[in-house]
Amino acid sequence: MQIKGTTILCVKKDNQISLGGDGQATFGHTVLKKNVSKVKRLYQGKVITGMAGSTADAFTLYEKFEAKLNQFQGQLLRAAVELAREWRTEKMLRKLEAMIIVADKDNIIMISGNGDVIEPDDDVIAIGSGGSYALSAAKALMNHTELSAEDIVKSSLSIAGDICIYTNQNHIIETIDRNKS
C-alpha–C-alpha distance, residues 20 and 7, integer Å: 8
Residues facing 2 on adjacent strands: none
- With a cut of 80, say whether residue 118 has pLDDT above it: yes
Digit-coded pLDDT (tens) for 6-46: 899 999 999 999 999 998 888 778 888 888 888 999 999 99
For residue 67, the model assigns a pLDDT of: 95
Catalytic choice (6, 7, 49, 167): 6
6 catalytic? Reply is yes
Q: What are phi and psi of 72, to 5 degrees?
A: -105, 30
Looking at domain 8-177, its CATH superfamily turns out to be Aminohydrolase, N-terminal nucleophile (Ntn) domain (3.60.20.10)
Residue of 20, 31, 35 whose CA lies nearest to 127:
20
Over the stretch 136-180, which tens digit does the pLDDT of each residue have? 999 999 988 899 999 999 999 999 999 998 889 999 999 999 887
Q: How far apart are CA 104 and CA 85, in angstroms?
A: 20
Contact by Cβ (8 Å): 156, 9:
yes
pTM for this predicted structure: 0.93
